[in-house]
Structure 1
């Protein structure tokens, strides 16, 4: 498949009063045309920093691209000027943020906000831009777009506001759409509607999506491939089937075990022990070792390379070394594997 975006050995630091925070450490992945890649992990694992770096939205005052490339249409986005980036941002690469209320201007009518990127990036009249904005409101499932066009964000529900944000992000038919936990601020019923909308829209406009989430249940329904992040690194990557049916990294096991299910009692709900590492002083060896019951001595001393599980599945854990003891995923993970066919029906 044609690659539309390639991230190669990306290293990003933040300079703080406490010292240098090594937030992203050697991240590499690619995105194919029409594909949905989910990036999952706990808060602080580096998901949002990675995707904001693609948009060049990190604060210039204290962030630094230390190493690596972000290749889009043959251009390294870490090297282009801000003026060039403004032509790409919103037009070729667009982003849906977590909270729709803070993403929208409360003093501007919704229709005008949807028209803005159209007028900025496309040579079109105001009348044509208005018609396009109306079409986008219909596309994202907002009824009575003529009336809604003239309303302000506070006159919309949370789910409707998120639909407006999606309409704005789709205004210029972007090649890459980044969705940064777009359903986190919404209740579960509206979450399901927004996820269904995004799957439907992807088929209609043939865009590539990077979907950031901490919820593996969401991933099962929307993603083609999954990258699991921990401590500023990708620790496992594979197709959605491989990550759910054949996970290999102990951190992925922990995330799967933490997924609530309707048939689990309170005693069975699992939480990964400990806290993510302090990236002011990144740990030597495997960053997850101190939280893993499967850690070996080598995990404390040497960082694991990626081991190949299949042509599409790789995991950075010493448990895959030929000399490592055979370890089975915990029972909680096996239970989630049985649930996965039910989750996947909607995909």
Structure 2
């Protein structure tokens, strides 16, 4: 695709707890190109937020980076000091958090909160910074922005607060925007508005987005590529169409199966729970929950098998010697659609 601005290689992160070392992130690699949106999807506890916090240098005190690199324009962020990271955070890489109420200072007018990153990172004088804050407030769709710029967070609705949080994240025109479940606390209509807004702003300021979510449904209209995470590892990645219509990992099947579609309303939750990362399983971490698991799944971790130039999945089902199995009905339906889409492309 385009120019690569972020390259995460073999990232390993443990958490030191009273019970022992939790192996939270286990050999995770992915990249991000200029102007694209990468969605990282998985159940809670799969390691999505830990991964993105490591990009920002915001890991908890008990976190230990055991290995790997986070290359931003070929410079390893893991080697930077806290002071150096403070200059990158908010200016080059910004983050929208889940809950807008905890990200906003209740005692400070929102105009000042939006202007602050400009004053800090770009050394813009206060009057100019407030003028720019007003512009971005209009851009994120706050009505009567001139009047509202002097209001406090509690005077806004949840959806408006989330727009303000987005304004703060985007005011310095960061190269990378990390959105961690940015619409979880909002109702569906406002959720759709916020996602549309993010796409619109992305085109205007050419930022690249890493979008974290447990909801595959949100990803369809949002992402270019998708990485599916499970038990601290990426188990499948590909273009949004490949993951939606031609998924190969049983965990991705499970996630898609538990998602409502227009045709199917009988949702199936994935049985069981993710493994304990204090003592990760030897083989495929999904084996215990996988109805298609084979003997080898309990013995050996699967490597990534190539499905296409852009699509890889870590499952033994893709091994040439694996038995041919029929995926769930919903997945078969999607794969047929995918074949039709691909056939049209070839015409």
Scaled by the length of structure 1, the TM-score of the pair is 0.95
Partner of 2:313: 315
2:45 pairs with 1:44: yes
The change in CA–CA distance for 1:338 and 1:326 in structure 2 (over 3 A counts) is closer
Q: Secondary structure at the match of 1:178?
A: strand
Q: Distance in 1 between matches of 2:320 and 2:290?
A: 20
Please report how far the alpha carbon of residue 285 of structure 1 lies from its aligned counterpart in structure 2 after TM superposition: 0.5
CA contact (8 A) 1:98 1:180 kept: yes
Query: Contact 2:40–2:228 at 8 Å: present in 1 too?
Result: yes
Match runs of 1:64-83 below 5 Å: 64-83=64-83
Report how far residue 74 of structure 1 moved.
Answer: 1.5
Q: CA deviation at 1:203?
A: 0.7
Unaligned runs of 5+ in 2: 339-347
CA drift at 1:263: 4.3
**Contact 1:257 1:336 (C-alpha < 8 Å) held by counterparts:** no
Offset, 1:176: 0.3
Alignment of 1:282-321 (within 5 A): 282-321=280-319
Distance in 1 separating the partners of 2:258 and 2:218:
13
Instruction: Note the C-alpha offset of 1:73.
Output: 1.4
Select between 254-263 and 86-95 the one with higher mean Cα deviation: 254-263
Alignment of 1:72-151 (within 5 A): 72-151=72-151
Aligned equivalent of 2:258: 258
Unaligned runs of 5+ residues in structure 1 are 341-347
Q: Superposition RMSD on alpha carbons, in Å?
A: 1.2
Deviation, 1:49, is 0.3
What number of residue pairs does the alignment pair up?
337
Deviation at 1:339, TM superposition (A): 9.0
1:78 counterpart SS class? helix
Deviation at 1:82, TM superposition (A): 0.5
Q: Which residue of 2 aligns with 1:281?
A: 279
Runs of 4+ in 1 over 6 A off after TM superposition: 337-340
Report the 3-state secondary structure (helix = DSSP H, G, I; strand = E; otherwise coil) of the residue aligned with 1:298: helix
Instruction: Provide the secondary structure at the position in 2 that maps to 1:8.
Output: strand
What's the counterpart of residue 154 of structure 1? 154
Distance change >3 Å, CA 339–CA 242, structure 1 → 2:
closer
